[in-house]
Amino acid sequence: MNKPIYSALFSAVVMLILASFLLGVDLETQGITLIPELAGDQTWLAIGLATLVVFLFQLFREQIASLIKLPSLPSIDSMLPEEGPKRTKLTRIAVALVIVGMFIWPFFASRGAIDLATLTLIYIMLGLGLNIVVGLAGLLDLGYVAFYAVGAYTYALLSLYYDVSFWVALPISGLLAALFGFLLGFPVLRLRGDYLAIVTLGFGEIIRILLNNWTELTGGPNGISRIPKPDLFGLEFSRRAKEEGNVPFHEFFGIPYDASHKVIFLYLLAVILVLITVYVIHRLTRMPIGRAWEALREDDIACRSLGLNPTVVKLTAFTMGASFAGFAGCFFAARQGFISPESFVFIESAIILAIVVLGGMGSQVGVILAAILLTVLPELAREFQEYRMLLFGLMMVFMMAWRPQGLVPMKRPHLELKTHE
């Protein structure tokens, strides 16, 4: 009987202290000094009310929980036909339709929508890549954005200093990010759980700070601008060819210049990159290496007892996961035309991780859905810009309470056994 009272009091006090400092004090500038001043009565009233709400909520938590029974989400599985050839065929048709739709859609959509879709596709790629490390191999990586940065800066710097084209830089970005993944893998081999998370977090920050301070090479906080867009077999998507001897796309086909060509092209390129990513990772999960990742997540001691070297398995997960961030980064740099360390702050890692967790660890469909949700929703709710993080947090809390296994939990592959008598 005592317990809820204590925990409610504790929560209320924490709430009061935090809110008092964060909201209850205003900083006034006088000349060059900051003078703290107490906020207005209204603010304090709000803080008091909020504290009361927290107290009461914590006190009657159990009762509230039993009053509001959250309806459980219907399982998507139950709506589909039985496992078997029919199901496989249906899935195939659905996937084919979605893919065809993705290729046709941009020709009818607005420029803004296509831009948003392209951004979503980048996050899908990042989510799928991080899913290898976190969802499959079970290694909590909070610095994933570092590999994204490595990929982006690889292309930006190569094009700035050596005039390397997007298509040459793309594989190099992937390889270099993979190399960084491999290098990060070494020091963290012995770590797990919280420790691993902290070290990877630090790694992400180191990369960002390095990019920020190595001004001679990276331009520091000013970033790198005028990064060239990808071309299509030498055809550029600009009004006039930037490179000597290149022909712009519209001149080649004898059509009038239209800026949306470029947008659609970038979108289609992102679609292709994502499709390749999905396919490659899908295959990986059905190959020995993918199974080893999952086995490592499940039980590393059992892995060792069966002759698997956990070190090698971990390193491959880090390396492969990072390479996808590298590809995504290269594409991101090409699309934006401008990058700076601002684009690779911790919150990006957090969003990518949220995509993986929200989607359902290990599940590719889930990750894709979550990426769409987490990039499209904030755009739709532009007016609530200021409350973005609040909504984001609320959503995570609800998901954890309601459906901790994610939107679409990972499905195990069904393997047919052929027994020879």
Partner 1 sequence: MNKALLEVSGLSMRFGGLLAVNGVSLTVREKEIVSVIGPNGAGKTTVFNCISGFYTPTEGTILFDGEQVQGLKGHKIARKGMVRTFQHVRLFKDMTVIENLLVAQHLQMNTNLLSGFFKTPSYRAAEDRAMQNAAFWLKKVNLLEMANREAGNLSYGQQRRLEIARCMVTHPRLLMLDEPAAGLNPNETKELDELICNLRDEFDVSILLIEHDMSLVMGISDQIAVINQGTPLASGTPAEVRDNPDVIKAYLGEA
| Residue 234 to residue 292: CA distance in whole angstroms | 42
| Smallest gap from residue 297 Cβ to partner 1 (A) | 8
* Distinct helix (H) and strand (E) counts, the chain: 18, 4
Q: What dihedral angle (degrees, nearest 10) is formed by the CA atoms of 384, 387, 389, 392?
A: -70
| Smallest gap from residue 327 Cβ to partner 1 (A) | 16
| Smallest gap from residue 414 Cβ to partner 1 (A) | 5
Q: Which is nearer to partner 1, 229 or 411 (CB)?
A: 411
The residues of the shown chain that bind partner 1, judged by CB under 8 A, are 280, 283-284, 287-289, 291-292, 294-295, 298-299, 301-310, 412-415, 417-420
| Smallest gap from residue 316 Cβ to partner 1 (A) | 9
Amino acid 321 reads G
Q: Which is nearer to partner 1, 207 or 320 (CB)?
A: 320
Q: Which is nearer to partner 1, 202 or 413 (CB)?
A: 413
Q: Which is nearer to partner 1, 303 or 345 (CB)?
A: 303
| Residue 316 to residue 178: CA distance in whole angstroms | 9
| Smallest gap from residue 300 Cβ to partner 1 (A) | 10
Q: Which is nearer to partner 1, 382 or 412 (CB)?
A: 412
Q: How many C-beta neighbours within 10 Å does residue 336 have?
A: 18
Using alpha carbons, list the distances in angstroms from residue 73 to 64, 79, 81, 398, 406.
Answer: 20, 12, 18, 12, 11
| Smallest gap from residue 371 Cβ to partner 1 (A) | 23
| Smallest gap from residue 280 Cβ to partner 1 (A) | 7
Alpha-helix residue ranges (DSSP H) falling in 232-363: 249-252, 259-285, 288-298, 300-305, 310-336, 346-359
Q: Which is nearer to partner 1, 191 or 308 (CB)?
A: 308
Q: DSSP label at 80?
A: S
Structural Rg of the chain based on CA atoms: 25
Q: Are 390 and 342 in contact (CB under 8 A)?
A: no
| Smallest gap from residue 43 Cβ to partner 1 (A) | 48
Q: Which is nearer to partner 1, 56 or 287 (CB)?
A: 287
Q: Which is nearer to partner 1, 304 or 388 (CB)?
A: 304
Burial label for 3, CB within 10 Å (0-12, 13-18, 19+), is exposed
| Residue 291 to residue 377: CA distance in whole angstroms | 34
Q: Which is nearer to partner 1, 215 or 311 (CB)?
A: 311
Using alpha carbons, list the distances in angstroms from residue 301 to 54, 58, 135, 289, 325.
Answer: 43, 40, 19, 17, 29
Amino acid 142 reads L
329, HSE (Cβ side, Cα atoms, 13 Å): 36
| Smallest gap from residue 189 Cβ to partner 1 (A) | 13
